[in-house]
Structure 1
Amino acid sequence: MVHVPEDKIVEGGILCHLAQRDWMMRDILDLMLSDSDNTATNFLIDFIGFAKMAAWFEAEFAHLHLGRYLMEVTDRENYLSAETALELLERLLADPSPFGQVCQKALFYQESVNKLLQDLPEGCSYSKTGELEDTEHDAARIFAGDSYYDICFMSHYTGLEEREQILLAQNAVGKLAYQDLTGK
């Protein structure tokens, strides 16, 4: 069990709406992945240590930089390439440890399915989405039987009309991948 202090609660996700502040660590990890909960993510960054996590990311991944906490207003920025997002997804899905199993379950039950997974049946994917006021990202493994595609779709938009077009494109890519896998 861990305690999430009230002064560490930020917008984005479910923890900012709940009164409960004591959680099992596996639930915090699940909320970070399945619900994209910003408080859960920041809690895990603090739990490991910001500098330690940032250094590990820099050492392990060429195109992943932790520059700030989520929802922090600063001139520092986080960044992640599509290639690195897919590498992270592949690592998590290949991890047989209890940690990997928690991550896999959270990615399987992703709450946000309005992007690559919009037109797909339940139970055919693992996914991690991300969004800001001007971005819509999704990294997913879409599968049918033993065959799969790993797809990352990262976007930047400047208005609601562009956002709508990006979401439609993400929907189409996911649907085409699934149709190719199933022959339908």
Structure 2
Amino acid sequence: MEKDIQNFLGEQLNNNVKLIVNDARTNELLLSKDINDVFSSASLIKVPILLAVLDHLENQNQSISQMVKITPDNRVEFSVLTELEAEEATLHELLVWMIIVSDNTATNVLIDLLGFEKLNQYFIKIGLGHTRIRRKMMDFVQLESGFDNTTTAKDMALLFTAIYRGELLSKKHSELVINILSRQRINDSLKRYIADDIKIAHKTGSLETVEHDVGIVFTEKNDYIIGVFVTEHTNNEEAKQIIGKISRIIYGHLG
């Protein structure tokens, strides 16, 4: 497997690819490349936000069914909630939309719910050394000013391993997280070249120069964590193909 991946990566001279694969059950590191490099998280940041909100609900003994107002300043383009002109939604709805279609309006509402400081404190608490949130979704003014959301391959693998093991939340909410991630509707990267009907609990992230996909692959033989992160690329579609081909190689060995 390692040789096949090295041969493939050797052909990607114009793309910066970071990679991590580990056995979900034993946490054995199977493959890694540049796992400590810090890069723009894009929508991967929504996974730790999901966990932070659920952790908050548990600590405050609050209901996931509570209604939350959607203020005009949090509405952005390319959002289901914006299209629906929704003025409020339940926390459950916001969390689901944030993950399964990467809804940015839902994400901005949830960021306001906890605030940047509390979110970052939670990320640190659960061991994410370089995962930080510094701007809202679609806030390109802040992005151009140098305020970006960041992570590393190592952080994402740590996060998804903890999700797999149910280490961060109650059993009920741990199962909910897996359920939501498994309902992901954006499947043009890790699943791109896998014909089998397999379960992957994952999240994508995409900006003009980055393309990511990370998650848990459940198979009869193995459950494994895989994260492929393409940075500094010039073509999102080509980057998705790279992620798909790497995923196919790894699935051929582990699936």
Q: Which amino acid in structure 2 is aligned with residue 65 of structure 1? A: R
Other-structure match for 2:149? 78
Instruction: Confirm or deny that 1:16 pairs with 2:91.
Output: no
Q: 1:16 to 1:123 in 2, by over 3 A?
A: farther
The partner residue of 1:125 within 190, 196, 200 is 200
Aligned to 1:168: 241
Give the Cα separation in 2 of the matches to 1:12 and 1:153: 25
1:113 is aligned to 2:187: yes
Point out the structure with max Rg over C-alpha. 2
Q: TM-score, normalised by structure 1?
A: 0.87
Q: Which amino acid aligns with 1:69?
A: K
2:114 aligned partner: 48
Q: CA deviation at 1:158?
A: 4.0
**Amino acid in the other structure paired with 1:93:** Y
Residue in structure 2 matched with residue 38 of structure 1 by the alignment? 104
Give % identity: 26
Distance 1:122 1:94, change over 3 A: same
Q: Which deviates more, 136-145 or 165-174?
A: 165-174
CA deviations 1:92-137 (Å, max 9, x no partner) are 2333533322221111011111111112334421111000111100
| 2:253 equivalent in structure 1 | 180
Whole-Å separation in 1 of the counterparts to 2:115 and 2:96: 19
Question: How many residues are treated as equivalent by the alignment?
Answer: 180
**Aligned-residue RMSD, C-alpha:** 1.9
- Cα drift, residue 70 of structure 1: 1.4
Stretches of structure 1 lacking an aligned partner (at least 5 in a row) = none
Structure 1 position 94 matched with structure 2 position 175? no
Unpaired runs of 5+ residues, structure 2, are 1-66
Cα offsets for 1:52-79 (capped at 9, x unmatched)? 1123324431111111111112121110
Tell me: higher relative CO, structure 1 or 2? Use CA pairs within 8 A at least 6 residues apart: 2
Question: Aligned-pair distance for 1:154?
Answer: 0.8
